[in-house]
Structure 1
Amino acid sequence: MSGKTVNSAILLLVIGNALALISDAIIKLQGADVPVFQFVFIRTLCTLVLLLPLSAMIDRGNLFAGGRVHLLRAHISLAGISCMVVALNTLPLATANALFYAAPILVMVIAVLVFRENLTPLSLLAVVSGFAGIILILRPVALNWASLSAIGVAFSLAINIVLIRKLPGRQSMVHTLVLTHLYMLPAAFLLTLWEGKAFEWSVVIHAFGSAFFILCYNVTVLMAYRWVAANQVTSAEYTGLLWAIIGGWVFFGEVPDMWFIIGSTMIVAPLILIGLAERKRKRVLRQEPASVAVAE
């Protein structure tokens, strides 16, 4: 794999994370009084509309394959997006995003509990350091519904990542996104009725903007990981936290404190080290057959 291709994939991920940050900022601009479930329902509809031009990527012959897993992931996503709206509208942008990055750490824990996988020493360090980082960011005085919502987002992301293993192997990302959002609609609509808030056109504008930019993020991620192996560029995903710090400072006047800087470093740094170690391991495995051939 050429260095140029790897660099292009890294650039795509950096741009993609900036687009995801725009989606977060659009949500945050609505303020704490936004009707949460109305926003989630309308964003779900907007996402389905935006996916229509990509419908050729859907396997119509096996449209509802893996339906039970999709149904479960859809409702976990519904809970996660609802928590995300609350977290982004009540926490500083960078703080919320730092807590979202706990998802890869939770994936490791869930994989141990559900799939009986073993943690490497570096993975164990990431888990311990990550949870300590979360405590530093939140601190007991900052533990409230907003911070719990951010942790809820991380849990929903982690569970859905683990459940990907249960999906049909050949389904495209578009197929998965369509089914997820289709299955989300009924529950999101019922929650909107239960919420009982008056319809707001401003919510439609914000929901469409958020859906558009997060879909653009998904496309950049898909393209990047098709070009190169995931372990070569995964660390670029964590530029999202840098974008969140810049965005929070520029648009909302939020300045991270020392607790945030230390805590977020404790969350992200071990994850980057894991990515670098995996890249080194793959490089060694690729070189071994050549070494054996020369010896023979």
Structure 2
Amino acid sequence: MSGRTVSSAILILVLGSFFATLCDVFIKLAGSEVAIFQFTFLRAVFMCFILLPIVVLRLYRRSKSAVFLGLKLHFIRGNMWVLAAVLLVLSLAELSLATANAVFYTAPIFIMLFGAFFYKERLSMDVVLAAVLGFMGILVILRPTEITFGMVSAILFAVVLAANSLLIKKLPQQQDILYGLLVTQFFALPLAGGLALWEGEAFQIELLVYAALSSICSILYSVSCLVGYRYVASSKVTSAEYSGLIFAFLIGWWIFGETPDLGLFIGSLLVITPLLYLSHRDVKRLRREQMLSNTRSNLGAG
């Protein structure tokens, strides 16, 4: 699976979505009474330990000129990662795996809205409609008769994830992505460690396994995105990531005995369908541009 063709890139992203769902599973298995800040700190530690030898080997073979670029952004993203990790644990402790993941998939909607606000990107009527339907989908999925920490945490997680993803645009293009991930996790350690000390919970050795496994899955998901989006236009393959919702339905039913109801399916459709449409529209636009470019090249050659 080289990721150089659309089919192989889609397969890689589907596998990545599976690992992302597994990451959520291990976090949920840690239990609702988990020491949240301690668990977050352990995840950051394991990610640093796993990534360090890989990054050192990659830097040994490549140029090291970009290692000190974008440190301020990595610091911001690292601290935002801590916030996102805490919100993730809070939401998974209360909501079912499928429900939480359905809300998480509103992150692309927030990315589009934030992109229009911060980067002055064009906000078309299609994007506005997708946002409205997505928020309607959240209401259908959660059906809030009362506001709970789990509901708020899931929505805030999607917001923080979107904001963190937008910051990627500002990172140095020549910088190795895994190196950037390592530095981000390194900058997350002080805040996560400080919060763990403030939490004051006794060390829970059973968290080590769940922290390590969730960290490995998180890294595998990041690597899949690195390979899946490297050679193929993102609009052609990004819809493959929504397979994670199917994995969340199946694994939630198999491991946690969760049975998705009709409202969850309808709400998920309201969230995912407009995003799939926007992705399909972008694919058609890229094809038209490619055909126009080819026509001009042929005319120039003639």
Structure (1 or 2) with the greater helix fraction: 1
Query: Does the CA-based 8 Å contact 2:66-2:174 persist in structure 1?
Result: no
Counterpart in 1 of 2:36? 36
User: Residue 136 of structure 2 aligns to which amino acid in structure 1?
Assistant: A
Counterpart in 1 of 2:23? 23
Query: Does the CA-based 8 Å contact 1:99-1:154 persist in structure 2?
Result: yes
How far apart are residue 4 of structure 1 and its match? 8.7
Q: 2:133 aligns with which of 121, 129, 136?
A: 129
Counterpart in 2 of 1:258? 262
Name stretches of at least 5 consecutive residues in structure 1 with no aligned partner.
none
- CA displacement 1:157-197 (0-9 Å, x = unmatched): 11011111221121111111111111100010110011111
How far apart are residue 20 of structure 1 and its match? 1.3
Query: Does the CA-based 8 Å contact 1:64-1:179 persist in structure 2?
Result: no
How far apart are residue 215 of structure 1 and its match? 0.8
Give runs of aligned pairs for residues 1-296 of structure 1, distance below 5 A. Answer: 5-55=5-55, 56-58=57-59, 60-141=64-145, 143-294=147-298
Measured in 1, the distance between the counterparts of 2:219 and 2:297 equals 46
Q: What TM-score comes out, normalization by structure 2 length?
A: 0.93
3-state DSSP class of the match of 2:112?
helix
Q: What TM-score comes out, normalization by structure 1 length?
A: 0.95
How far apart are residue 60 of structure 1 and its match? 4.2
User: Residue 16 of structure 1 aligns to which amino acid in structure 2?
Assistant: G
Measured in 1, the distance between the counterparts of 2:101 and 2:220 equals 18
How far apart are residue 293 of structure 1 and its match? 4.5
RMSD of equivalent CA atoms: 1.8
After TM superposition, the structure 1 stretch with the greater mean CA deviation from structure 2, 226-235 or 239-248, is 226-235
Query: Does the CA-based 8 Å contact 1:40-1:82 persist in structure 2?
Result: yes
User: Residue 170 of structure 2 aligns to which amino acid in structure 1?
Assistant: K
3-state DSSP class of the match of 2:175?
coil
Measured in 2, the distance between the counterparts of 1:233 and 1:166 equals 23
- Size of the aligned set, in residue pairs, is 295
Measured in 2, the distance between the counterparts of 1:99 and 1:250 equals 20
3-state DSSP class of the match of 2:93?
helix
